[in-house]
């Protein structure tokens, strides 16, 4: 019987238990998949800790993976047994050796990019792509603020915004990440645990502020990010690594005519064709070295608890994956 990481009760990382699980045969429109690698995301930390109550317990966490198709349900025509595929899927279940999956979630992979790199970059890279193209379309010459610039999404976001011709200001939580953030395309790096990042952004932009702030740190940075915006600037609050943002007065946006979004990559890429096209563009950017995956911390599936400790450790840079 295959094994998986099962969460019986929300709480500390040690609640992630490696145990045998039954995997049913695929229903019509589904495939069965044997994973080779699974991406670990901050979303998984929110689910495990109980901040998000979106996984029915007991349940198998995880929202992206890479693997090989081992069985086809009826009515699946675009895939074959043996195909190498990757997916993002908000229906959970990725922390597993084997699983069933809606076939429409599967993105067929061609040779070229290693499974570990795909697991480290698929969800994070698609998120970065949606943020720079759709949530706010970054233009040459824009000032762009990216928090946690040496993290999984942050490092890809900085590279993409820089590639599009923006001036990128990154924030990082510790000194050893400064050079990394510069390597990821940041023109200016602020150590936001020690420096007043609002004052530094004002200084760097000659008082103008930024056209867009990408903030997934949440509680600790949200109001500072708003203060960093230029007139008509946009704040994309796409996560909450430090905790949820408290309620605030919408009229606070009026003085500078600012706008705010709380985007989800799953909503932006809900349509199959759009998701497939976005993945193709991401793989092209990786192949062309427009994006570098950065450091990948690798753990065996059974050690998911350790992987979560690594996710929550602020000394970490880059991405975390589980291998099978």
Ligand X SMILES: NC(=O)c1ccc[n+]([C@@H]2O[C@H](COP(=O)([O-])OP(=O)(O)OC[C@H]3O[C@@H](n4cnc5c(N)ncnc54)[C@H](OP(=O)(O)O)[C@@H]3O)[C@@H](O)[C@H]2O)c1
CA distance between the termini of the chain: 15
Q: Cβ(269)–Cβ(130) under 8 Å?
A: yes
CB of 179 to ligand X, least distance (A): 13
CB of 228 to ligand X, least distance (A): 16
The nearer residue to ligand X, 15 or 240, going by C-beta atoms, is: 240
The nearer residue to ligand X, 114 or 312, going by C-beta atoms, is: 312
The nearer residue to ligand X, 123 or 213, going by C-beta atoms, is: 123
Q: Cβ(69)–Cβ(33) under 8 Å?
A: yes
The nearer residue to ligand X, 26 or 62, going by C-beta atoms, is: 62
CB of 194 to ligand X, least distance (A): 11
CB of 264 to ligand X, least distance (A): 4
Phi, psi of 46 (to 5 degrees): -60, -40
The nearer residue to ligand X, 188 or 316, going by C-beta atoms, is: 316
Q: Is the dihedral of CA 236, 265, 4, 321 positive or negative?
A: negative
- C-alpha distances in Å from residue 196, one per residue of 47, 74, 181, 219: 31, 58, 18, 16
Residue 112 neighbours by CB distance under 10 Å: 10
Dist. CA 93–CA 60, nearest whole Å:
5
CB of 154 to ligand X, least distance (A): 5
**Residues of the shown chain interacting with ligand X in the complex, contacts defined by CB under 6 A:** 41-43, 123-124, 127, 148, 150-154, 172-173, 177, 216-217, 220, 238-242, 263-265, 312, 314, 316
């Amino acid at each position: 019987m295959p094994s998986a990481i099962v969460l019986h009760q929300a709480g500390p990382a040690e609640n992630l238990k490696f145990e045998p699980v039954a995997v049913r045969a695929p229903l019509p429109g589904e495939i069965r998949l044997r994973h080779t690698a699974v991406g670990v995301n901050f979303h998984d930390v929110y689910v495990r800790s109980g901040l998000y109550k979106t996984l029915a317990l007991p349940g198998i966490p995880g929202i992206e993976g890479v693997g090989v198709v081992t069985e086809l349900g009826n009515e699946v025509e675009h895939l074959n047994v043996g195909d190498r595929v990757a997916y993002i899927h908000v229906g959970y279940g990725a922390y597993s050796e084997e699983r069933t999956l809606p076939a429409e979630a599967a993105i067929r992979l061609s040779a070229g990019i290693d499974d570990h790199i795909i697991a480290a970059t698929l969800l994070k890279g698609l998120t970065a792509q949606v943020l720079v193209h759709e949530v706010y379309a970054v233009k040459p010459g824009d000032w762009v603020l990216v928090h946690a610039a040496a993290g999984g999404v942050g490092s890809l976001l900085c590279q993409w915004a820089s590639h599009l011709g923006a001036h990128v200001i990154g924030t990082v939580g510790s000194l050893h990440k400064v050079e990394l953030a510069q390597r990821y395309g940041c023109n200016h790096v602020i150590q936001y645990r020690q420096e007043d990042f609002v004052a530094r952004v004002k200084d760097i932009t000659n008082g103008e502020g930024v056209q867009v702030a990408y903030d997934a740190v949440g509680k600790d940075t949200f109001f500072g990010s708003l203060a960093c915006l230029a007139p008509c600037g946009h704040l994309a609050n796409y996560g909450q690594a430090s905790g949820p943002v408290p309620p605030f007065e919408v009229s606070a946006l009026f003085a500078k005519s600012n706008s705010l979004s709380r985007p989800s990559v799953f909503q932006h890429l809900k349509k199959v064709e759009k998701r497939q096209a976005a993945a193709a563009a991401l793989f092209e950017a990786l192949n062309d070295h427009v994006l570098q995956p950065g450091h990948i911390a690798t753990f065996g599936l059974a050690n998911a608890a350790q992987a979560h400790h690594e996710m929550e450790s602020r000394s970490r840079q880059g991405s975390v994956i589980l291998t099978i």
